[in-house]
Amino acid sequence: MGGFRGIVRGLGDLDASEERALGGGLQFRAAGAGIVAQPRSTRAEDDTLMVMVSGHFNRAGSAGQSAADVILEGWRAKGASVLERADGEWLVLVYEKSSGRLHLARDPFGVRHCFWSARGERLAFATTLRGLLELPGIGRELARENLAEFLSFRYVHAPRTLLRDVRAIPPGHMLVAEPGGEPRVEAWHRLKYAPPYCPNPPDPETLAEIERRLFRSVAARASGRDRVGIFLSGGLDSSAITWLASRLGPVETFTVGVEGAEDDEAPYAGRVATLLRTRHHLVRVSPDQMIGAVDGVVAATDGPVTDPAAIPQYLLGVEARQSVDVVLCGDGGDELFGGRMVGVLASQFRLSTLIRRLPGPGRRVASYAFGDSRPELGNGGTPFGLARAVGGVVAFGAEGRAALMRDPGWVRPGIRRRCLEPFYREVVSDPINEILHAYLRGRMPEDALARTGAVALHADLGLRCPFLDTDLASYCASLPGPWKVRPGLTGSTTKWALRELLQPVLPRSLVGRPKRVLPGPWRRWFEGPLAPFLAERVRRLEEDPLRLFLPGAVRALVPALGQPGVAERLWTLIFLDAWIREVGAE
């Protein structure tokens, strides 16, 4: 998948230890700067600029032009605005030779990652966390002030990380560093959403436009000399991509199944593959394989693994690499078309709107009848999703963190709202679009894409995300949320557009079924075949060399395994401990 890393100084040349740590590859050297590109990255330069690109561009450049050539040519003419035309999954580095100014830009939606650390006049950066930590002078002190955020969401939002000395570039942002100045992070990409209360567009024309743009995106990402496959879950997103890719020719699809899973998705994926006539591969994951892959998954990720589903995904990526060079995935479909919990939230918002319109006594009666936990009714100026702190899963709430953490100052009640508020303040639209934007800026790059990206990186697979096409995403953002999530007799219909497009292609039993995540019998396995593994990992957690947890707090979770969410919380702590040991956090 490529990548790069480097060190730039305001004054003075790199020392011998820095030169050794950078290693070989496509190198660039200048006074006070050393940058190395890894294989499958591209480089271009002229008298004024040096450009490196890690990743893939779609529909950009002339025949024979590399991604770096495209940026070099465009930057000379238009500066950073060239990035708006660079659709794809990428990281871009531009170094201005005369001034020593460095630009590091991350793709609009965060498919690729980039980390940096600055001390005085020295800036070090790399496209993986471990690549950065291999450079001299990078501290490994755990950012304990960010533990509450991690335990709440299962991840930390960029620019923050779990290491105090390390920062991450947020999606759609650019790091700018120049001699004599402090590094600064600037947004270069923003989606423009439909304004509040705008009317719904006509259905036939809008559906046709979505199909056209999505097909164009799939075709751009499936073209070329690489062998291309698709991660097929059997859900709407991956099924839509498979359907459109099958128009272009034979398709290879890959699905993972988990032994003993409560809701095994593999039969649904197999049926989609049969109907669309793909060459289908099914990987079955056993408890022994899960245990054997835990440390490999941890070593492949830049932060603690966010979900045990990453392990079967990891094993699926290894299998897929035997047949293909590039995989397409369905990440982004939920955030563009209104999936996940948005259906429930849309119904709740409609009910709250009705309650708000009632006179005082009627409002009190309705609030009591439907439950009084409606924070959006207390502050009319707060976005609905922000009032409920919607955005990503909830692993440990404030009470759970207080029962776990040794220092009460690390608990940080209200951390969810503080982390989510910047995302909600970036957009003014209807409540559905505002919630989707919070997921797009938070959970998608830090959780779902981070897992899929780690799988691809470990397996040396190219990762391409057709839903995260800038043209398609801009169009979907311009559509009102109520057009995407439709009210019905028994609730709300999520991802209405994708269901409509797939109605003529797949049977109703596949198109109409509810959203599911990658399943896993995590609780049953902890109580059965993974019981020795759990006991060993709890023992390791109780060693607690960094003194993070209250004595006995982790072990107290084990008897509560039958309660909702407890198995997931244990996995969260197991992955945190494994990651701390892997990176040597202090």
pLDDT of 509 reads: 87
CATH class of the domain at 4-187: alpha beta
CATH class in words for 190-519: alpha beta
Q: What does the DSSP 8-state code read for residue 262? A: T
d(CA 155, CA 415): 13
Domain boundaries, the chain: 4-187, 190-519, 522-583
Please tell me the predicted confidence (pLDDT) of residue 458.
85
pLDDT for position 121: 86
**Amino acid found at 293:** A
Structure confidence at residue 62 (pLDDT): 61
- Residue 2 CB-density burial (10 A; 0-12 exposed, 13-18 middle, 19+ buried): buried
Per-residue model confidence (pLDDT) at position 16: 84
Which residues in the chain land under pLDDT 50? none
- DSSP state string for 525-545: HHHTTTHHHHHHHHHHHHH-T
Identical fold at 4-187 and 190-519? no
Q: What is the DSSP letter of 560?
A: G
Q: Give CA–CA dist 521/312, Å, rounded.
A: 12
Question: Which pLDDT score is estimated for 18?
Answer: 86
Using CA atoms, how far residue 220 sits from 59, 190, 223, 331, in Å, is 7, 23, 6, 17
Closest CA to 290 of 311, 309, 307, 306: 311
> What's the per-residue H, E or C state across 420-482?
HHHHHHCCCCCHHHHHHHHHHHCHHHHHHHHHHHHHHHHHCCEEECHHHCHHHHHHHHCCCHH
Q: Quick one: which of 326, 89, 319 has its CA closest to 228? A: 326
Question: 584 by DSSP, 3-state: which?
Answer: coil
pLDDT at res. 581: 96
H or E stretch covering 300:
helix 287-300
Indicate the angle between helix axes 566-583 and 287-300, nearest 10 degrees. Answer: 50
- Distance separating alpha carbons of residues 70 and 297, to the nearest angstrom: 35
Yes or no: say if 53 and 68 are a contact pair by the CB < 8 Å rule: yes
Q: CA 451 to CA 298: how far, in whole Å?
A: 10
Q: Which of 160, 162, 191 is nearest to 84 (CA)?
A: 191
Q: Would you mind telling me the total number of residues written for the chain in this entry?
A: 586
Q: Helix, strand or coil for residue 252?
A: strand
